[in-house]
Amino acid sequence: MSAMSHVVQRLVVVSGLFLFAFQVAADSVNTYPAAYAEVDTVRELDGVIEAVNQATISAQTTGRVTRINVDVDDYVTKGDVLITFRDKKIRSAFNAAQANLDEAEKEYSRIKGIYEKKLIAKAVLDKAEARYKSTQAQLAEAKEALENTIVRAPYSGIVVKRHIEVGELAQPGRALLTGLSLEALRVRVNVPQNIIVAVRKYSQAQVIFQQAGKQPNSVIVNDMRISPFAEPETHTFEIKANLPNADYGVYPGMFIKVAFVTGKEKHLLIPAESVTRRSEVNAVYILDDEKQLHYRQVRIGKTTPDGKKVEVLAGLTEGEQVVIDPVDAAVQLKRQGKH
């Protein structure tokens, strides 16, 4: 039998697609049967990233500002010192409270020892104990006042507005800085009324990140708040979808794509990794019933949200065995010197 009886190359047109078949005996390759499965139908809309937490920090004590360490658009980490106040009087009060506590503690210990020897009345011990506890409370109050002269970042984020300058006198309640957190982000989307029923039903969306090389490139979101009424001017419903905590490389104010689930359909699916791409051609390797390998062009559709499967629009039929690893299939053909 000649070598050509082992290798047959042919070019056929099937439903407008080119079918390249290289028939060789396959050794051992892992395959996956092309099968219909229920997948989500989606509607892709534009959204805007915004911070879940945005707050204005206010003064907790009276004091003159001596230093401001940040400015608008600066990034700060939780616990960073943002503003300091003049603390001379408050520190003096703290030192006095500490001295009073030390004295009261010693006096209480001394009287307690005398009382245990039954040389004084219980009322004397109670008075010493009351003074000791009172000085403890005074020190705690003085310590809090001293700590309030240093303003720290309550969370990591960005300063968006400054309300005070160095040298100004702050009173309790006066606004100092406004910032927003990057630790918790959400997407705000206006959804048209014609799909709001389906969106409410499934309450699931895929947020798609378009930054090149950024991982992950999308995330599934189930935690969303849907407005109970439509905006009269636009007839759209506002949805706020909270992103799971992670570094997505996005910031408040950025546009983002959001794909809302609106229904379910059946599609022919194969593993995404089984598809090989050459220029603009998508193809897969097929293993037929006679254990022969075929290289076939296919037309593919959307990838499932988890990125593991891809929809086949043309070129395959249900049940055909697709080689999962196209490199493995190519190796098999190269051994025959025909691929």
Three-state SS sequence of 84-127: EECCHHHHHHHHHHHHHHHHHHHHHHHHHHHHHCCCCCHHHHHH
The C-alpha atoms of residue 90 and residue 96 are separated, in whole angstroms, by 10
Q: Does residue 172 sit in the same domain as residue 71?
A: yes
Quick one: which of 174, 142, 151 has its CA closest to 58?
Answer: 174
* Same structural domain, 58 and 47: no
pLDDT at residue 141, as a whole number: 93
196 occurs within a structural domain:
yes
Q: Has residue 291 been placed in a domain? A: yes
Residue 214 tokens read as 């950024």
pLDDT recorded at residue 29: 78
Q: Tell me which of 135, 166, 181 is where a domain ends.
A: 181
pLDDT of residue 336: 59
Contact in structure between 217 and 248 (CB atoms under 8 Å): no
Which of 207, 240, 264 is the last residue before a domain boundary? 264
What are the mean pLDDT values of the chain's consecutive 10-residue runs (339 residues total)?
Answer: 37 40 57 85 90 88 92 90 92 94 94 90 92 94 92 88 92 91 88 93 86 63 90 92 83 89 88 85 85 85 81 87 82 65
Q: What's the pLDDT score for residue 331?
A: 79
Report the pLDDT value the prediction gives residue 229, as an integer from 0 to 100: 92
Residues 189 and 258 in one domain: yes
Hey, what are 282's tokens?
Answer: 């998508």
Residues 253 and 113 in one domain: no
293 and 255 co-located in one domain: no
Q: Which domain holds residue 95?
A: 87-148
- What is the domain-level CATH number for residue 115? 1.10.287.470
User: Does a structural domain hold residue 307?
Assistant: no
In this structure, are 17 and 122 located in the same domain? no
Residues 128 and 170 in one domain: no
Is residue 305 situated within a structural domain? no
Q: Hunting for tokens 């570094």 — which residue is that? A: 247
CB 294, CB 21: distance < 8 Å: yes
User: What's the CATH code of the domain at 60?
Assistant: 2.40.50.100
Element (H, E) at 144: helix 122-147
| Domain count for the chain | 4
Q: Quote the pLDDT of residue 216.
A: 56
> Which amino acid makes up residue 327?
V
**Under 8 Å between Cβ of 236 and 189:** no
190 plus 49 within the same structural domain: yes
Residues 322 and 271 sit within 8 Å (Cβ to Cβ):
yes
Same domain? For 174 and 64 the reply is: yes
227's enclosing H/E stretch is none
In a domain, 253, yes or no: yes
The pLDDT assigned to 4 comes to: 35
Handedness of CA 107, 110, 114, 115 (dihedral sign): positive
Q: What is the CATH number of the domain that holds 194?
A: 2.40.30.170
Q: Is the domain of 258 the same as that of 188?
A: yes
In a shared domain, residues 172 and 211: no
Does some domain include residue 37? no
For residue 38, tell me if it sits in a domain: no
Q: Quick check: 243 and 228 in contact, CB under 8 A?
A: no
Task: Kindly provide the b/e burial profile for residues 81-97, where b requires at least 16 CB atoms within 10 angstroms of the residue's own CB.
Answer: ebbbbebeebeebbeeb
Of 178, 177, 171, 179, the residue nearest 85 (C-alpha): 171
Q: Say whether both 49 and 193 belong to one domain.
A: yes
